[in-house]
Amino acid sequence: MKDFINTLYKNHALIYKVLLFICATILIVYLFPKQGKFKYNFEQGKPWQSENLYAPFDFAIKKTTEEVDAEKQTIENQSNLYFSLNTSVVNNVRINYKATFNEVFSDSIPDETFSRLFKTGELIIDKLYNNGVLNENYTFSNDKKCIILDGQTTVKQAQFIDLVQQKDLSSIINSILTENNHIDYQTEFLALFFDVVEPSLTFNKSLTDKALQEDLNKIAYTRGSIEKETLIISKGEVVEGEKYQTLESLKNEYKSQVWSASNYNWIVFAHTLLVALALLMLLLFLRKYRIEVFENNTKVTFIFFNIILMVLITTLVISYNSQYIYVIPICILPLVLKAFFDARLGMFTHVITVLLLGSIVPNSYEYMFLQIIAGIVTILTVSELYKRANLFVSVGQITLIYIIAYFAFFVIHEGSFDALEWETFGLFILCGLATLFVQPLIYAYEKLFGLVSDVSLLELSDTNSKLLKELSNKAPGTFHHSLNVANLAEASANEIGANAMLVRVGALYHDIGKMKNPTFFTENQSTGINPHDELSSIESAKVIIDHVINGIEIARKNNLPDRIVDFIRTHHGTSVVYYFYKKEKALNDDIDIEDFRYPGPKPFSKETAILMMCDSVEAASKSLKEPTSSKIDAFVENIINKQMENEQFLNANITFKEIQSIKKVLKHKLANIYHLRIEYPE
C-alpha cells in the first residue's frame, strides 16, 4: 500500500493531467447541442452537389413557416367571438323607461303626441336590445362572427357590427327619431336613454381564446409524405420549391430520428471520441514542443479553461440565436495565449478550438475558414500586446478580414451581392469591439492563474518602481550594471527572436540580492575600501554566492512573478566564483570546488541563457584596459566559449547559430560603449 501511495505521489502531475483531460472532454461533450447534424450541405437555388439522394426512411413533408403562419392568420380571422347575455337587463330597462319617461316629458304635451313618443322610445329599446348592448367599446373587425350565450346555451349568432357599442347609442337614437319625425325631442330622448340603458353583453375572453386555440391545434404541419427509398433529388438538380422543402423536412426529421433513445449513447460516444482526439493532439503538441508548459499543471489548466470557455459561450449563443455566432470574439483566444506563451502555441490551440466548434455551428466550413484566417491574422499582426495602438490596429485588421471573407462567401453562394445582409457586417464590428476586452481579461487571468504577460512585464520594467528605486539607492553601481545588461540582453533577444521584454525585465532584477551586502561587490565600492580583505576566500565566496539566494528572497517578498525569479536563480548557473577559488587554491591545494560553486540551476530557456552571457560579458568588460576591436572580440569569444565548455547552456533551447548571433551583437555593443573607431593610417 505504501509503494502504491508513493507511486501516486511521484506521478501526481501526470494523474492530474489525465483527470483534467477526462473532465474537459466530458464537459465539452455535455455542452454540445444534443441534436443530429445532417451530413449533406445544400442551399436554395443552387445545384445539388452530392450523388442522387434517396429517402433513408419514411418521413412527412413539413409545411413552410410562411404556410403555417398564413393558416394561423386565416383561422384567427375566421374565429368566433363569444359574448355572455344578461336576459334580465331588457326587462329592467323597460321598467326604468316607463318610470323615467313621465318625468322627462311634461304633461303639457298632447296625449296623442305623448303616446307616439312613448312608442318611439319602445322602438329604440327594441333596436338596442335586438342583439344586445356591449359593456364597453371593442376594436374587433365588423364582419367578425359573434356567438351570444345565455349560460352555456347559444341564444343567437350575429356579426360584430350588429352589436351595439356605447359609442353607437347617440346615432341609433337619432336615426329612429328621424324615421318617426321626433327629432325635435332629441335632447330629451338622449338624456332619458343615457340614464336607463344598461349593457346586456359581456365579452367572454376565456371561451373565445379556448375556441381559437382548439382551432389552431387542428392545424396540420405536414403535407404529404415520402416513403423510404424514394428518389428525393438527383445530382445537379437545382434545389428549389418542393425539392427544397422536402430536403428541409428530411434534415429536421434526420436530427430527431438520429438522436433517438437507441442511438443517443452511441452518438454521445462518437462526439466524445472526436473531442478527446482533439484535446489529445493539443497535449501531444505541448509534450513535444512546449515541454515547460506541459510540465506546469497550472498552465495546462489555463489552456483547457480557455477552450472550454469558448465552447460554453458559443453553445449559449447558438441555443439563443445562431445568427449571432459571429459576435463571439474567438480571436481573444490566440491573443491571450500569445500574451502568456507564444504565437505557435496560440495558433495551434486556436485551430483545435475552431475544429471543436465546427461540429456544432451552422455552415461549419464557412465558420472554420473565417475563424482560422482571423486567428492567423491575429497571430501575425499583434506583435506587442502591451502597446495599445497595436491592439486597435490588429482588431481593425481582424474585422476587415471577417468582412472580406464573408463577402466572398456570400457572392459565391448567391452569385451577386444584391441581397447582401449588411447586418452581418455590424456583427463583425461588434466582434472586433468585444476583442478589445482582451486587456482586462489578461489582467484577470494574471491574478487568477499567477501568470505573467507582456503588459505586466512593461509595468515591471519601469525603473521608478519601488524595488528598482531601492536598488539604485542602496547599490547604485549594481543598478547601473543591471541597466547595461538589460540593454545588451534586449538587443541580443531581438537578434534571435526571443522575448525581448521578458529578458530586459529579468536583467533589471537579476542582481537585486546585492542590496543586502552592496559594498562586497566591486561596482559599489566607491571609497576604495574592500571588505573582502578581512574575510577568507571561502567566506568571500559565500557572500558573493548568497546574492542569488538573497535575490530570490527579496523577489518573493515583493511578489515578483516566477518567470522573473527564474532569471535570478539561473544568471550564474552552476559556475564557480573563480577569483576566490584561485586565491584559495594558491594557499591550499586541498579544497572543495563545490564551496565556490553557485547552486544553479543552469539556464533553461533562450532568455535566461542570453542573460547569463550578457551579465558575464558586461561585468568582465570593466577589467578591459585600452580596449580595441580585436581585444573585445577575443574577450567576448573567450567568456561565452568558456560557459559553453562548462555546459551552462545544456538545458537551454538555444542553438550554436543563435549563440554566434548573440556574440556578434555583444561585440558591436561593447565597441559602441567604448567609442572605438577605425585606426586610420598616418
> Are 206 and 327 members of one domain?
no
Instruction: Tell me whether residue 436 is in a domain.
Output: no
Phi, psi for residue 201 in degrees, rounded to 5: -120, 135
For residues 273 and 26, the answer to whether their CB atoms sit within 8 Å is no
Q: Residues near 319 by Cβ (< 8 Å), separated by ≥ 6?
A: 33
> Are 126 and 247 members of one domain?
no
For residues 128 and 160, the answer to whether their CB atoms sit within 8 Å is no
CA-CA distances (angstroms) from residue 378 to 193, 329, 358, 452?
Answer: 81, 12, 19, 20
Q: What is the pLDDT of residue 505?
A: 94
For residues 227 and 57, the answer to whether their CB atoms sit within 8 Å is no
> Are 204 and 85 members of one domain?
yes
- Kind and range of the H or E run holding 483: helix 476-496
**Hey, how many other C-beta atoms are within 10 angstroms of the C-beta on 474?**
17
> Are 364 and 502 members of one domain?
no
> Are 515 and 600 members of one domain?
yes
Instruction: Tell me whether residue 38 is in a domain.
Output: no
Rounded-to-integer distance, Cα 455 and Cα 382, Å: 13
> Are 201 and 332 members of one domain?
no
> Are 133 and 281 members of one domain?
no
Rounded-to-integer distance, Cα 346 and Cα 342, Å: 6
Q: What is the pLDDT of residue 384?
A: 62
Domain count within the chain: 4
Instruction: Tell me whether residue 336 is in a domain.
Output: yes
CA atoms within 13 A on the CB side of 128: 32
Rounded-to-integer distance, Cα 621 and Cα 641, Å: 16
Instruction: Tell me whether residue 425 is in a domain.
Output: no
For residues 512 and 521, the answer to whether their CB atoms sit within 8 Å is no
- Kind and range of the H or E run holding 150: strand 145-150
Indicate the residue type of 357: L
Q: What is the pLDDT of residue 387?
A: 63
Which runs of consecutive H residues, i.e. helices, occur in 560-605? 562-570, 578-587
Residues of the chain with pLDDT under 70: 1-9, 34-43, 45-46, 49, 106-108, 254-263, 383-389, 413-419, 675-682
Instruction: Tell me whether residue 37 is in a domain.
Output: no
For residues 513 and 552, the answer to whether their CB atoms sit within 8 Å is yes
- DSSP letter, residue 621: G
Instruction: Tell me whether residue 240 is in a domain.
Output: yes
**Domain boundary pick from 186, 216, 246:** 216
Q: What is the pLDDT of residue 470?
A: 93
> Are 518 and 464 members of one domain?
yes
Cis peptide before 440 (omega within 30 of 0): no
Q: Residues near 641 by Cβ (< 8 Å), separated by ≥ 6?
A: none
Q: What is the pLDDT of residue 258?
A: 54
Q: Which phi-psi region, left, alpha or beta, contains residue 204 (left: φ > 0; alpha: ψ -120 to 50)? A: beta
Rounded-to-integer distance, Cα 315 and Cα 415, Å: 31
User: Nearest Cα to 551, choosing from 538, 542, 564?
Assistant: 564
Instruction: Tell me whether residue 175 is in a domain.
Output: yes
> Are 266 and 394 members of one domain?
yes
- The burial of 108, by beta-carbon neighbours within 10 Å (0-12 exposed, 13-18 middle, 19 or more buried), is given as exposed
> Are 295 and 207 members of one domain?
no
> Are 236 and 193 members of one domain?
no
> Are 252 and 176 members of one domain?
no
Instruction: Tell me whether residue 33 is in a domain.
Output: no
* DSSP-derived 3-state class of residue 156: strand
Enclosing domain of residue 629: 454-673
Q: What is the pLDDT of residue 260?
A: 55
**Hey, how many other C-beta atoms are within 10 angstroms of the C-beta on 124?**
22
